[in-house]
Chain A
Amino acid sequence: MESVLTPDDLQAVWLTLKLASVTTLLLLLIATPLAWWLAHSRRWYKGLMSAVVALPLVLPPTVLGFYLLLLMGPQGAVGGITKALNLGTLPFTFAGLVVGSVLFSLPFAVQPIQNAFESIGQRPLEVAATLRAGAWDRFVSVALPLARPGFLTAIILAFAHTVGEFGVVLMLGGNIPGETQVLSVAIYGHVEAMEYGAAHLLAGGMVLFSFLVLLGLYLASGKSWRVTR
């Protein structure tokens, strides 16, 4: 088969994997404490927080992308801060895509981890406390290992969801090769240009990738599991 993939396509694949990896890593750092708080807090505003975290599940990605664009743009509140810090503005940069992806995939990381923390219950933590483990010790030696299936689910979902993202990227990052042109955008570009061969190759790769991810998820969790969206 003649090479229908351009260097830009390969760059898009690389950029997509990089975006998904960075996003997943950041999400773990953000979602873990958030999930812990949601699993254990009894504050009245817990429901409010849950709703905010779940918002990207129901919002059209273009809506999220639109508001992020306004917020991070030169006139936006976040844009003002980044400019004042001499960081420029985030839209149409890789960093901007990361911010958008993190927000967009937040519920996919928070909810499995929160469920895992909740299903552990108080008892193992109480046992650990009576065995002289302080709060941080209990979290590391009991909560984290027991919540491992939840973390696995969160990692796979966040990664795969970021790989498949389109609307937020397009609104926020446009289509700059090497900077913001990810796979889904590249496929769209190929279809627009009637380059169905290249589109097939990339799209087929995505189908295969997504299937393998879900297969891995089923095998790892060992029980039936459905994506709720």
Chain B
Amino acid sequence: MSEKQATWMRVHFKMQRDGFELDAAFSAPPVGVTALFGPSGSGKTTLLRCIAGLERTQGWLHVNGELWQDEKTFMPVHRRPLGYVFQEASLFPHLSVRANLEYGYKRIAASERRVQLDQVVEWLGLSHLIERNDPARLSGGERQRVAIGRALLTSPRILLMDEPLSALDTTSKQEILPYLERLHRELNIPVLYVSHAMDEVARLADHLVLLEKGRVIASGALGETLARLDLPTAHFDDAGTVIEATVAQQDEAYHLTRLDFVGDHLWVGRVDQPFGTSMRARVLARDVSIATQAPEGTSINNILNARIEEIRDEGPDKVVVRMKVGEAQMLLSRITRRSRDHLGLTAGMYVCAQVKSVALM
């Protein structure tokens, strides 16, 4: 990615309010999903609202070479070419589903309408909802899909999503995630996605901006950033890395699928996807153990050759080990300090990483 691409959007906002201090700067690329990730109270929603212009505070914002805000300029919300999906769908209760969808569409110039109603209805599976007059009585997942469609129909140059799944129950979440992934693949609109749920981020994001107490503590490509041991993300209970791989082989007899990445592969439970399909596999640090010699007589399917890059203490009894597998992918492993000492693990060693389970995204 060129320097210019990586800084397609440049953000710096400062705010002081009721004991909360925001001083956050980051840049984002014009493609893919950039996740603003952090614990609650870290300022990620406030930062997103600043970008939308919903909060007016000191700072500056450039998008695609265009100035949206600085000391002298403040582009009002309704002039910023963005789509915003709130935590609660917030459909207009006095309008039908169709009128909700068309609210923004009608307000942009005909020449700027790159996204059409039919497309959105098809993408988000809204055909059976479009004639409904009672948006308040749609299910949570349906409402949020309409809200996403409504935002997309303004043909935004960037889509801002503020924890769009957090108000939904698990079923609705599972229902809506495939749609988000589909948007990700089919729409060429960069997305800023606020979340405090690591599984959502691991599934959807390409780029990660980590926030803590109103500050950006790290920003970078998802795979690299998740593998950094100096960041809190590597020490969560569900810490882990993602591996980008493609469907390479189906084992019909054992009902398994082989996913290849440069330099190595993983066997996973059967995936009904054609050869060559890109998949994202998430491997948690707690599911990876380390052996110094290739183990014999093991039930574990995935034993990868790995090189230890870094080891870092975590609490009094545990360490987290970062390993490179294949040419460029990273794995984390959480083991006890005693195991590290018994095996004499140090950076630079070649070991076998035993992967107990792989979650496909």
Contact = CB atoms under 8 A, between A and B. Distances in A.
Interface of A: 123-124, 126-134, 137, 141-142, 145-146, 148
B167 to A, nearest CB: 13
Contacts of B84: 127, 130
B244 to A, nearest CB: 32
10 contacts: A123-B90, A126-B86, A129-B77, A130-B77, A130-B83, A131-B104, A132-B108, A132-B154, A137-B107, A145-B94
Given A123-B86, A126-B54, A127-B86, A133 B92 contact: no
B147 to A, nearest CB: 8
Contacts of B52: 130
A133 B92 CA distance: 13
Nearest to B84: A130
A146 B95 CA distance: 10
A133 B108 CA distance: 9
B94 A133 contact: no
B151 A131 contact: yes
Contacts of B103: 128, 131, 133, 141
Interface in B65-90: 76-79, 82-84, 86, 88, 90
B151 A130 contact: yes
Contacts, number: 56
Contact of A132 (B88, B92, B93, B107): B107
B12 interface: no
Contacts of A148: 94
A137 to B, nearest CB: 7
Contacts of B92: 124, 127-128, 142, 146
A128 B52 CA distance: 12
Contact of A133 (B53, B82, B93, B107): B107
A86 to B, nearest CB: 45
Where chain A touches its partner, the secondary structure class is helix
Specify which of A127, A128, A131, A141 lies most central, judged by the most chain B CB atoms within 10 Å of its CB.
A131
B150 interface: yes
B68 to A, nearest CB: 13
Interface in B115-163: 150-151, 154
Given A124-B92, A148-B94, 10 more contacts: A123-B88, A126-B54, A129-B77, A132-B104, A132-B154, A133-B104, A133-B107, A134-B78, A146-B92, A146-B94
A127 B90 contact: yes
B78 A133 contact: yes
B339 to A, nearest CB: 52
A146 B136 CA distance: 13
B354 to A, nearest CB: 48
A133 B150 CA distance: 13
A227 to B, nearest CB: 27
Nearest to B109: A132
A131 B54 contact: no
B258 to A, nearest CB: 45
Nearest to B99: A141
Contacts of A130: 52, 54, 77-78, 82-84, 104, 151
Interface string B29-55: 000000000000000000000001110
Contacts of B154: 131-132
Contacts of A129: 53-54, 76-78
A130 B107 CA distance: 11
A133 B76 CA distance: 10
Contacts of B77: 126, 129-130
Specify which of A137, A141, A142 lies most central, judged by the most chain B CB atoms within 10 Å of its CB.
A141
A145 B78 CA distance: 20
